[in-house]
Structure 1
C-alpha cells in the first residue's frame, strides 16, 4: 500500500471511531458509544483478539501501528458498524469482551 492510501485510511479511521460512530452510538443508544470503547471493539475484531495481546507494543496510538491489512480490516469494520448499527456493535462488543474474559453488556 502506498503512503497516500495509508494516510487516507488512518484519517478515515479517526473520522469514524473518534467522531461518527460515537455520535451515532449516543443518539441511538448503542451498547458502547465512547470513542475509546468503539476503538477497542474495532481493533479487537480487526485483529481477532484483545488488541493489547495481539499488537506488538510501541509508541503512538494502536490504530496507527496496525499493518496495512489490519488497518484496511479495521476501517472496513468501522464502516460496517456505521451501516448496520446497534445489533452489529453489540455482537462485536460481546466478542471483544469475551476475548478479555468479561461478560457482555445487557442490551
Structure 2
C-alpha cells in the first residue's frame, strides 16, 4: 500500500523554509545591528538587542511575547505571522514611521512597569 504524499510537497517546504530563514535573518539584522546602531542618535531609551526584540515582539503579539510564544529563543518559536509582524514593526521603526518610544512604553505597561 502506497502512503499518501506528504503536504506540503518537498519543494514547497524548501521554499517556505527559505522564506522563514530570510525572515529570521532580517530580524537578527534589525535587532542586533541596525536599530542598536542608530539608537543614540535618535535618543531612544534602549540600545541593546534584547530590548528591541522585547519591544517589537510585544507589539506584534499585543501582549508580553512570552504569553503568546511558547519557548525560546522567541523569534524561532514565533509563528510566521508573529515574526513577520515584528519585522514589519522593526522596519517601520527604522524608517521613522513608527515611534519606538511609544512602543517601549506600551511594552513596559504589558509587564506592569511604568513606561519612561
TM over 0.5: yes
d(CA) in 2 for partners of 1:40 and 1:69?
Answer: 16
- Indicate which of 64, 70, 95 corresponds to 2:82: 70
Post-superposition offset of 1:28: 2.4
Q: Which has the higher contact order (CA 8 A, sep 6+)?
A: 1
- Tell me what 2:39 maps to: 25
- Indicate which of 77, 81, 84 corresponds to 2:96: 84
- Tell me what 1:12 maps to: 26
d(CA) in 2 for partners of 1:45 and 1:31?
Answer: 16
Count residues with an aligned counterpart. Answer: 102
Q: TM-score, normalised by structure 1?
A: 0.88
Which runs of 5 or more residues in structure 2 are unaligned? 1-14
Where in structure 1 do 4 or more consecutive aligned residues deviate above 4 Å? Answer: none
Q: Aligned Cα RMSD in Å?
A: 1.5
Post-superposition offset of 1:26: 2.4
